[in-house]
């Protein structure tokens, strides 16, 4: 494996880095990259560029402390190992990382309406075949696959794969949908892995895994805050293993615990519920916040766009999430 990593010096300019050739395990590779500022090659022909080594902004302080002798090599190596094991430092292998302000649309029903100026389309995993994703890519767009990771839906083709033991209470307001016992990762996990495999096979760039705040819901199961963290981090790791970026859907109370594991935030109605400040950690970490407010719930274009935090990618739609109405705070109204 070869790392071609570049990081900035104290003058914020790029410097040429030496090459270190060695056959070593990934944790040691990252240690050499971060400590010696070098390119590392192993027996593998795989190449990882600068954008493929991902770590949170706060880790830059730890790098600086080590560079100034405030942290020993052993302590720094242990920190790198710890953070890699937990997916906080990652080899992302060219994975897509949407930045704040990325223009997007979400459409989960009907024929996909490719509007001018949109960079990212969030569309249903099951209802769109590979040709739709290929068409989006041909237009220079990214495609995100939507599926529910926390609920059972009786209309999905894999609904019969879920044993009764993991299917709980009705999801209020959504006929045919029930909550899942996400504590049982050994049972629910393989089904979600197959969904992620399908997402990858169809060529999607990222994942919008919905209903990942079960610990706050009337699921019929005793799901704790920690249970949800365990499941959500597992989902993020599984997506990343497939080269898929993944967004944290709602789950605002866990943002600080999960911002380093997810590649963007996907949110519904944070402005209506006065919760948008809870998502600023994503923007501060140079990660997009894909935010939607619903006009059939009273959202008004001028008020939304005047009060949405800077850096959010905010749109207005109806809860039908079809192609009939789309408003963006970055553009004029776009209608089919």
Query: How is residue 165 written in tokens?
Result: 């033991």
* Residues 108 and 87 grouped into a single domain: no
pLDDT at 24 over 80: no
Query: How is residue 182 written in tokens?
Result: 């996400």
Residue 334 lies in a domain: no
Residue 45: the pLDDT is 41
User: Total domain count for the chain?
Assistant: 2
Residue 336 lies in a domain: no
Residue 229: the pLDDT is 98
Model pLDDT for residues 82-93, shown as the tens digit of each residue: 776 665 666 555
* Residues 128 and 245 grouped into a single domain: yes
Single residue among 30, 56, 91 that ends a domain in this structure = 91
* Residues 255 and 298 grouped into a single domain: yes
Residue 118 lies in a domain: yes
For residues 38-51, average pLDDT = 43
Residue 335 lies in a domain: no
- Across all residues in the chain, what is the average pLDDT? 83
201 and 138 Cβ atoms separated by less than 8 Å: no
Residue 149: the pLDDT is 98
Residue 90: the pLDDT is 60
Around 3, how many Cα atoms within 13 Å sit in the side-chain half-sphere? 32
Interatomic CA distance for residues 58 and 247, integer angstroms: 20
* Residues 80 and 116 grouped into a single domain: no
Burial class (CB in 10 A: 0-12, 13-18, 19+), 242: middle
Residue 2: the pLDDT is 34
* Residues 85 and 109 grouped into a single domain: no
Residue 235 three-state SS: helix
* Residues 114 and 243 grouped into a single domain: yes
Least reliable range by pLDDT among 19-23, 145-149, 182-186, 265-269: 19-23
* Residues 178 and 109 grouped into a single domain: yes
Cα–Cα nearest to 232, from 248, 221, 220, 216: 248
Whole domain around residue 82: which residue ranges? 2-91
pLDDT at 17 over 50: no
Residue 80: the pLDDT is 75
Query: How is residue 11 written in tokens?
Result: 């003058």
For residues 299-326, average pLDDT = 91
Around 127, how many Cα atoms within 13 Å sit in the side-chain half-sphere? 14
Residue 333: the pLDDT is 40
* Residues 36 and 141 grouped into a single domain: no
* Residues 210 and 163 grouped into a single domain: yes
Single residue among 91, 118, 135 that ends a domain in this structure = 91
Residue 8: the pLDDT is 33
The rounded percent of the chain whose pLDDT value lies above 70 is 78
Residue 54: the pLDDT is 61
* Residues 120 and 64 grouped into a single domain: no
Residue 98 lies in a domain: no
Question: What CATH number has the domain bearing residue 292?
Answer: 3.20.20.70
Single residue among 53, 70, 91 that ends a domain in this structure = 91
* Residues 118 and 75 grouped into a single domain: no
Least reliable range by pLDDT among 13-22, 192-201, 290-299: 13-22
pLDDT at 28 over 60: no
Which comes out higher in pLDDT, residue 41 or 10? 41
* Residues 306 and 269 grouped into a single domain: yes
Residue 293 lies in a domain: yes
Residue 327: the pLDDT is 86
Residue 74: the pLDDT is 77
Model pLDDT for residues 49-84, shown as the tens digit of each residue: 444 556 666 777 887 787 778 888 778 777 777 776
pLDDT at 286 over 80: yes
């Amino acid at each position: 494996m070869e790392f071609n990593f570049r990081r900035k010096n104290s003058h914020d300019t790029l410097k040429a880095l030496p090459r270190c050739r060695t056959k070593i395990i990934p944790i040691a590779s990252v240690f050499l990259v971060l400590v010696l500022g070098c390119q590392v090659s192993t027996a593998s022909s795989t190449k990882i560029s600068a954008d493929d080594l991902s770590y949170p902004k706060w880790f830059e302080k730890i790098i600086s402390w080590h560079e100034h002798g405030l942290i020993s090599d052993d302590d720094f190596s242990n920190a790198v190992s710890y953070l890699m094991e937990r997916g906080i430092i990652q080899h992302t292998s060219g994975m897509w990382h949407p930045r704040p302000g990325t223009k997007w649309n979400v459409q989960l029903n009907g024929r996909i309406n490719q509007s001018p100026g949109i960079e990212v389309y969030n569309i249903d995993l099951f209802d769109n075949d590979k040709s739709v994703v290929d068409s989006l890519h041909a237009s220079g767009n990214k495609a995100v696959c939507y599926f529910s990771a926390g609920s059972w839906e009786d209309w999905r083709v894999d609904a019969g794969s879920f044993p009764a033991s993991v299917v709980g209470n009705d999801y209020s307001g959504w006929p045919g949908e029930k909550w899942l016992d996400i504590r049982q990762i050994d049972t629910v996990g393989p089904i979600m892995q197959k969904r992620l495999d399908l997402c990858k096979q169809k060529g999607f760039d990222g994942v919008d895994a919905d209903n990942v705040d079960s610990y706050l819901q009337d699921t019929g199961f005793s799901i704790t805050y920690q249970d949800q963290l365990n499941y959500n981090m597992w989902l993020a790791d599984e997506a990343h293993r497939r080269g898929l970026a993944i967004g944290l859907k709602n789950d605002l109370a866990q943002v600080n615990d999960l911002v380093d594991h997810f590649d963007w935030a996907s949110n519904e109605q944070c402005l209506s519920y006065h919760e948008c400040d809870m998502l600023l950690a994503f923007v501060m970490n140079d990660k997009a916040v894909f935010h939607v407010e619903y006009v059939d719930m009273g959202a008004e274009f001028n008020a939304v766009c005047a009060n949405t935090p800077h850096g959010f990618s905010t749109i207005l739609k109806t809860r039908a999430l079809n192609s009939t109405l789309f408003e963006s705070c970055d553009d004029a109204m776009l209608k089919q």
